[in-house]
């Protein structure tokens, strides 16, 4: 028993650590843009926050679709069924590319209107639209890269995904710096330079991932149409997982849009904080994703012994990771004045006031994330959806809207609602996890995710 549990934890760590670095690098790209743009002032930072919120929502949906496909890839790999893997891959590719086209058209039509609804300051609106004019094309390339990343992760080749981000990150930072601030006599492009730098970097990452997929002989990357029936069956399997992740992504975007109605310095503080919150919780998310991949591979291979033991070990591991995240946020709270020395004193004060909330957030969020991913892998994505929908959309977001729009409470209490959402979800997740483990042996193989 001890050997099997140790083996399971080691396999999870082997998959999780590149996933964690991948996620950290992905979130760091937003942080790099914010750091590079911060010398331009609060208006530029607010414009970046609004534009990236809109694009991040679309990215989140594409990632959600890829995450749903990732579990199906894992099952096909666990079953050693290459034909099924090829069908799942081409279906996922067509679905994600279709989402990219739809989001691009939607951004072209609705983007300017949305920006004007979120800000009344002309400088902020102008710079946000400049960013979106180039940044919207990231949606097409992200659709391709998310499916390729899901394939590598499902096969346990998470290091390939890591190398892709390691290629993209420095190119993005260097290109964005010169495009934002200029070089020699050229004054640069300002906020839109960050979008162009990201576009150059993601093109190179997409080319690298396609090359690695072909050379690793996992699958042939083609746009062969698999047929409507195959795509529809794939969609039936992934939509509940995609809805889960999309719901959370929409929730994060909704919080940011609600907080944009706060005074400018308060909104800038939260806008700077949200990417750090994502970064601080990415290690826990990577652990949860690795747990789901390993369990899905076992489901595909029909191996379900030691399920209860491994699940307990994985959840205990998530709490250790949550403690590490708390330590990260304690350190971050001390470093904020050094990271953003050009911010207004009022913005710095808001960051300091919010510190207790974002420091304690991982204790609830990482545990909930691990339970949610494990439940999805076990075929209970609908349960997870209900918990997130009720906790976020029926309780937390309406309360946050009322507090921000109709009261004058301090920013601390407005942000506290965002943190309390995760606390509310702990008990339902514990109950559902126990129920899933108790009923798994009786099912003799679980349902689709």
- The full DSSP string for 245-289 is HHHHHHHHHHHHHHHTTS-HHHHHHHHHHHHHHHHHHHHHHHHHH
Determine phi and psi for 183, rounding to 5 degrees: -150, 140
Q: What is the pLDDT of residue 86?
A: 85
C-beta of residue 188 within 8 angstroms of C-beta of residue 240 = no
Tell me the C-alpha distance between 102 and 51, whole Å: 18
pLDDT along the chain (449 residues), means of 10: 56 72 67 78 82 82 83 80 84 91 91 84 86 89 89 82 82 87 81 87 90 78 79 85 78 85 87 83 84 75 65 82 91 87 86 92 92 86 90 93 89 92 93 84 45
Q: What is the pLDDT of residue 393?
A: 92
Q: What is the pLDDT of residue 399?
A: 94
Q: What is the pLDDT of residue 279?
A: 80
Q: What is the pLDDT of residue 23?
A: 67
C-beta of residue 47 within 8 angstroms of C-beta of residue 124 = yes
User: Residue 275: which of 34, 101, 42 has the closest Cα?
Assistant: 34
What is the CA 256 to chain-centroid distance, rounded? 15
Question: Taking the CB of residue 448, how many other CB atoms lie within 10 A of it?
Answer: 15
Q: What is the pLDDT of residue 392?
A: 92
**Residue 444 gets which letter from DSSP?**
T
Domain boundaries defined on the chain: 2-443
Longest dimension (CA), the chain: 72
Query: What residues have CB less than 8 Å from 320, skipping those under 6 apart?
Result: none
pTM over 0.85: no
Q: What is the pLDDT of residue 446?
A: 43
Tell me the C-alpha distance between 200 and 181, whole Å: 17
């Amino acid at each position: 028993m001890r050997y099997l549990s140790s083996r399971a934890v080691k396999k999870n760590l082997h998959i999780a650590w590149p996933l964690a670095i991948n996620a950290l690098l992905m979130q760091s790209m937003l942080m790099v843009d914010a750091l590079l743009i911060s010398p331009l002032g609060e208006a530029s930072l607010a414009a970046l926050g609004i534009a990236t919120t809109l694009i991040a929502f679309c990215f989140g949906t594409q990632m959600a679709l890829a995450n749903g496909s990732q579990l199906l890839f894992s099952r096909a790999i666990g079953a050693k069924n290459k034909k099924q893997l090829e069908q799942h891959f081409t279906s996922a590719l067509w679905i994600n590319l279709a989402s990219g086209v739809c989001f691009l058209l939607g951004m072209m039509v609705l983007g300017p209107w949305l920006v004007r609804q979120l800000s009344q300051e002309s400088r902020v609106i102008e710079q946000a639209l400049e960013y979106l004019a180039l940044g919207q094309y990231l949606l097409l390339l992200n659709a391709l890269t998310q499916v390729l990343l899901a394939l590598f992760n499902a096969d346990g080749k998470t290091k390939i995904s890591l190398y892709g981000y390691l290629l993209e990150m420095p190119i993005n930072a260097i290109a964005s710096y010169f495009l934002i601030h200029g070089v020699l006599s050229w004054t640069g492009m300002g906020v839109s330079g960050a979008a162009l730098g990201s576009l150059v970097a993601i093109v190179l990452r997409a080319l690298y991932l396609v090359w690695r997929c072909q050379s690793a002989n996992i699958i042939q990357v083609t746009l062969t149409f698999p047929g409507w029936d195959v795509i529809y069956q794939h969609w039936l399997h992934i939509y509940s997982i995609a809805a889960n992740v999309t719901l959370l992504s929409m929730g994060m975007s909704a919080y940011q849009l609600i907080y944009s109605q706060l005074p400018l310095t308060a909104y800038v503080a939260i806008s700077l904080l949200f990417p750090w919150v994502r970064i601080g919780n990415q290690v826990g998310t990577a652990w949860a994703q690795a747990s789901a991949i390993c369990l899905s591979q076992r489901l595909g291979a029909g191996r379900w012994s030691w399920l209860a033991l491994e699940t307990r070990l994985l959840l205990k591991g998530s709490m250790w990771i949550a403690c590490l995240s708390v330590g990260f946020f304690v350190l971050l709270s001390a470093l904020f004045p050094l990271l953003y020395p050009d911010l207004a004193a009022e913005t710095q004060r808001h960051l300091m006031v919010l510190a207790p909330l974002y420091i304690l957030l991982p204790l609830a969020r990482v545990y909930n994330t691990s339970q949610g991913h494990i439940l999805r892998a076990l075929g209970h994505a609908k349960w997870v959806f209900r918990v997130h929908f009720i906790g976020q959309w029926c309780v937390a977001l309406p309360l946050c809207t009322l507090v921000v729009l109709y009261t004058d409470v301090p920013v601390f209490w407005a942000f506290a609602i965002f943190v309390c959402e995760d606390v509310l979800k702990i008990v339902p997740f514990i109950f559902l996890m126990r129920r899933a483990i108790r009923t798994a042996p009786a099912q003799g193989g679980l349902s689709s995710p």
